[in-house]
């Protein structure tokens, strides 16, 4: 698992084009403020320990949210952080589980549509912790 986390005052996206033909057709445009934006990449090896991967994913998101005092999270599947890729179905299951667990913990979660390329705008704060890379 690779996570690229940003804290920003503003994030917006708009669906552009499908990258996976089997996903549903979606046209969506959303924005978030005072948020932690997570670009994540699910790797093939993550299938060996999904519970641990999901737990670490959530722990890192909550940690950065805590540093900035926010409960707003954006999750974006970004399959460009590693050459190792998990199957799309597994990556989507991870996304759905992480989103559900964060929401149950009181976080406001937006996820960009899975299997789509998107336009996006991201304003990243200047703090040193506003840009974090994690791998596990």
> Are the beta carbons of 95 and 77 closer than 8 angstroms?
yes
CATH class of the domain defined by 2-126: alpha beta
pTM beyond cutoff 0.75: yes
Domain ranges of the chain: 2-126
Q: Is the pLDDT of residue 12 over 90?
A: yes
Q: What is the mean pLDDT of residues 12-31?
A: 96
Q: Render pLDDT for 28-52 as a digit per residue (tens, 0 to 9).
A: 999 999 999 999 999 999 999 999 9
Going from the C-alpha of 120 to that of each of 1, 13, 17, 47, 80, the distances in angstroms are 23, 4, 13, 29, 16
Q: Is the pLDDT of residue 1 over 90?
A: yes
């Amino acid at each position: 698992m690779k996570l690229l986390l940003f804290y920003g005052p503003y994030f917006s996206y708009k669906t552009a084009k499908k990258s996976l033909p089997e996903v549903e057709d979606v046209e969506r445009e959303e924005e978030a403020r005072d948020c932690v934006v997570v670009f994540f990449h699910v790797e093939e090896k993550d299938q060996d320990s999904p519970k641990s991967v999901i737990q670490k994913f959530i722990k890192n998101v909550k940690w950065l949210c805590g540093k900035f005092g926010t409960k707003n999270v954006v999750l974006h599947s970004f399959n460009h952080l590693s050459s190792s890729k998990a199957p799309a179905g597994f990556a989507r299951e991870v996304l759905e589980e992480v989103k559900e667990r964060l929401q149950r913990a009181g976080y406001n979660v937006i996820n960009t549509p899975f299997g789509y390329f998107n336009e996006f705008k991201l304003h990243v704060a200047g703090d040193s912790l506003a840009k974090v890379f994690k791998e596990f």
